[in-house]
Amino acid sequence: MAAAPARLALRAPLPDDRTSALREKAAQTAALQLLDRERSILQFNRRVLAQARRADVPLLERLRYVTIVSSNLDEFFEVRVADYIEAVRLPGSGIGQADLDAVAQAAHELIDEQYALFNHEVMPALEAEGLVVLNHAQRNAAQRAWVSQFFEQQVRPLLVPLSLDPSHPFPMVANKSLNFIARLSGRDAFGRQNQIAIVKVPRVLPRVIRLPTSLTPGRQGFVLLTSVIRAHLGELFPGRTVESFSQFRVTRDSELEVDEDDVTNLRQALRSGLTLRNFGEAIRLEVVATCPDELTRFLLEQFELPEVALYKVNGPVNLVRLNQLIDQADADHLRFPLFEPSWPAGRLPPGRPILEQLRRRDVLLHHPFESFEPVVQFLREAVHDPDVLAIKQTIYRTGAQSVLMDLLIEAARRGKEVLAVVELKARFDEEANINWAERLEAVGAQVVYGIVGLKTHAKMLLVTRRETVGAAKGKRPAQTRLRRYGHLSTGNYNPRTARLYTDLGYLTADPGLTADMDAVFLQLASQAQVRPPRHLVSAPFGLHRRLLRHLRQVAEAARAGRTARIVVKVNALTDPALMHGLIEASVAGASIDLIVRGACMLPPGVPGRTENIRVRSIIGRFLEHTRVIYFRWGDGADDEVLYLSSADWMSRNMFRRIELAWPVRDAALRQRIIDEALVPYLHDRRDAWTLDSGGRYRRVSEQGASAQLALMRRLG
């Protein structure tokens, strides 16, 4: 008997007359104007910042959202704006100075809003709770004495003020480092009137310092390092007067440019490039709002930046470091309640070998609501099982410390065949991945770095085990065979982020899937032509074509008056061909829901083009990271497919990365994914934002159903 189709009928299909009308409109409608990607990224950060306004979010978590926006904006300038500037310089790119200025204006508005929220809402609320950050004017005599002693003992010995003159030129200022600029009067020790001095602040110094409890009775007091240095800046220049000064920080282009066709050792080339990353082209200059125009002009000249690249902020120039306050504060009631992911005992009874259980059924893991520990245990069992012969794993972002990498090293030490496909070009994780690659090679693991020109973004772990089969009672001799066990995931092999990001992991012993995984590993290692996978779909080979084919299937079903449904949950939607396919399906009458966390260039609700498309973004306690793709093009059991994937719907994922998508063929697991990863998000009202045809996001509500809270209750 055929399996029943999955239940996802959230909206009825369009009636036939409506479908016909849309079909007639299709040929008459002009091309759709897509939304700007950079502004869409800034819109996402605006939604993150809105979390810091919510009364139902604990205060320290509200501060954390403020710092997350700063971290996101750093990367936005380091990568996206840097690329934008390069595009402006290239003839025929279609991007001009006006476009760059518009992006900069949007960034200025967001940053101004961020600091206003920080100064006027978040920090006063924390002060009302007894957590205070004291500037020099607010500190009493005892507190000033303690700060002075701290400066003398912990800070001053590490500072080397630099007065500028022809023999002391403007120093190399590292990316995102904290610095002070000062204008001095008087003469130096040699009788000269050099007026400008620079003080570079070492990164080893803490940016937030907690005052002793005895100095702040009844409260928790903190001082910022910038305030400490500011209060004692004059002491760094004895015999002279500091007339004006400012903190400053420069953000630089941080893309590592390596010509893979022109290097003999990618790892060595990247390690060399890491030393230069901190000194790429300047992109943004941050100073405090009180910085005199004379000093800002001087800094802009030194960094060769236009006025539009100057950001005057009303507060610390790096809010990311306020995370240190969150970590030091003794105030659990101002944080999210502790959430402990559950072990899926109903599907993986503890105490029984995971490999043995996978021989009976596939297992789906929904992080962070369910624990990542079964994945760790899966690898740990494989490492210690004498019958496991080989372990293969892709490594994209694992972190500087990783129990999984330690287990791979142990497996190699035990004599197992270990293949690690390490993506050295994982942005901002290059150094950690290089270090893991070297450690793995040192114990005999085979390490490869993927394919030239492509990033390996697929997430897979494959175990090959020798097993005995045959009659136990001696009717025929026992035989041995090799059996594979695999793990596929929408997210990285990082236990820390697995507690913060939503992702789906898939443990399986399915011979078809695991054979395809083995073929992909073979291709990554040998670069040989292998048979096309039968179950997995990979990029850059067939994933884009497969998705376009399904989009056409849905469109054809809609034109024929059959059920036509698309639900896509990804982090970003920017690929032109996929957006065109969605438009065509919408015009045909298909019902389409897109759950896109970040950048979305497709405007929904445009009459005659995307009026059957709805776009929403979920911003909650956890970072939405799951990629789920659902198509239905009829009413039969074979007229639907659901994929899990490592890929977002971006051109880079489809053509410049190794990505995987795999269909979930088990009807029960498919329904569970729909019930947990799609339906709750389509009904979310508390954390959901909807996109309108003009590119504006509006919060649905701050009350009502929350997908993440519901999943925490159901699975945690």
pLDDT at 189 over 70: no
Q: Which residue has the higher pLDDT, 19 or 205?
A: 205
Q: Which two tokens mark 410?
A: 């142990």
pLDDT at residue 475, rounded to an integer: 60
Tell me how far apart the alpha carbons of residues 67 and 51 are, in angstroms, rounded to a whole number: 11
pLDDT at residue 24, rounded to an integer: 37
pLDDT at 259 over 70: no
pLDDT at 453 over 50: yes
pLDDT at 29 over 50: no
Band of residue 473 on the pLDDT scale cut at 50, 70, 90: low
pLDDT at residue 468, rounded to an integer: 86
Percent of the chain with pLDDT over 70: 93
SS3 260: helix
479-520 pLDDT, tens per residue?
889 999 999 999 999 999 999 999 999 999 999 999 999 999
DSSP symbols for 364-405 = EEEETTB-SHHHHHHHHHHHH-TTEEEEEEEES---SS-HHH
pLDDT at residue 179, rounded to an integer: 97
Cβ pair 72, 40 in contact under 8 A: no
16-37+538-715, which class in CATH? Answer: alpha beta
pLDDT at 127 over 50: yes
Band of residue 472 on the pLDDT scale cut at 50, 70, 90: low
Give the Cβ contact number of residue 22 at 10 Å: 23
pLDDT at residue 673, rounded to an integer: 98
Q: Which residue has the higher pLDDT, 264 or 64?
A: 64
pLDDT at residue 608, rounded to an integer: 94
pLDDT at residue 262, rounded to an integer: 56
pLDDT at residue 42, rounded to an integer: 97
Long-range CB contacts (within 8 A, 24+) of 664-669: 664/364, 664/506, 666/361, 666/362, 667/3, 667/4, 667/6, 669/362, 669/364
Using DSSP bridges, classify how beta strands 688-691 and 613-618 pair: parallel, antiparallel or unpaired: antiparallel
Q: What is the dihedral of CA 67, 70, 75, 80, to 10 degrees?
A: 140
pLDDT at 216 over 70: yes
What letters, b where the CB count within 10 A reaches 16 and e where it falls short, cover 182-203?
bbbeeeeeeeeeebbbbbbbee
User: Does residue 540 have a cis bond before it (omega within 30 degrees)?
Assistant: yes
What kind and span of H or E run contains 433? Answer: helix 430-442
Mean pLDDT across the stretch 306-318?
A: 95
pLDDT at residue 190, rounded to an integer: 65
- Provide the annotated active-site residues: 457
The residues facing 613 across adjacent strands are 592
Cα 514 to Cα 392, 659, 662: the distances in Å are: 11, 16, 11
Q: Which of 392-401, 425-434, 694-703 has the lowest mean pLDDT?
A: 425-434
Mean pLDDT across the stretch 298-310?
A: 95
Average pLDDT, the chain: 91
Mean pLDDT across the stretch 694-698?
A: 96
Contacts of 190 (CB under 8 A, 6+ apart): none
| Cα 242 to the center of its chain, rounded Å | 42
658-680 pLDDT, tens per residue?
999 999 999 999 999 999 999 99
Tell me how far apart the alpha carbons of residues 251 and 287 are, in angstroms, rounded to a whole number: 12
Percent of the chain with pLDDT over 90: 80
Please, where in the chain does CATH 3.30.870.10 lie?
A: 16-37+538-715, 354-535
Give the Cβ contact number of residue 647 at 10 Å: 28
Strands (E), 58-161: 131-133
350-383 pLDDT, tens per residue?
889 999 999 999 999 999 999 999 999 999 999 9
Strands (E), 549-652: 565-570, 591-596, 613-618, 623-624, 628-632, 640-645
pLDDT at 18 over 50: no
Give the Cβ contact number of residue 149 at 10 Å: 10
Smallest CA-to-CA distance from 22 within 650, 403, 674, 591 is with 591
pLDDT at 548 over 90: yes
Smallest CA-to-CA distance from 646 within 457, 385, 409 is with 457
pLDDT at residue 162, rounded to an integer: 92
Please, where in the chain does CATH 3.30.1840.10 lie?
A: 137-310
Contacts of 485 (CB under 8 A, 6+ apart): 355, 358, 378, 382, 462, 463, 465, 507, 508, 509, 514
Band of residue 11 on the pLDDT scale cut at 50, 70, 90: very low
Band of residue 16 on the pLDDT scale cut at 50, 70, 90: very low
pLDDT at 621 over 60: yes
Mean pLDDT across the stretch 328-354?
A: 94
**Homologous superfamily assigned to 354-535:** Endonuclease Chain A (3.30.870.10)
User: Does residue 171 have a cis bond before it (omega within 30 degrees)?
Assistant: no
pLDDT at residue 471, rounded to an integer: 58
Q: Which amino acid is at 96?
A: G
Band of residue 70 on the pLDDT scale cut at 50, 70, 90: very high
pLDDT at residue 561, rounded to an integer: 97
Mean pLDDT across the stretch 186-203?
A: 83
137-310, which class in CATH? Answer: alpha beta
pLDDT at 424 over 90: no
Q: Which residue has the higher pLDDT, 451 or 459?
A: 459
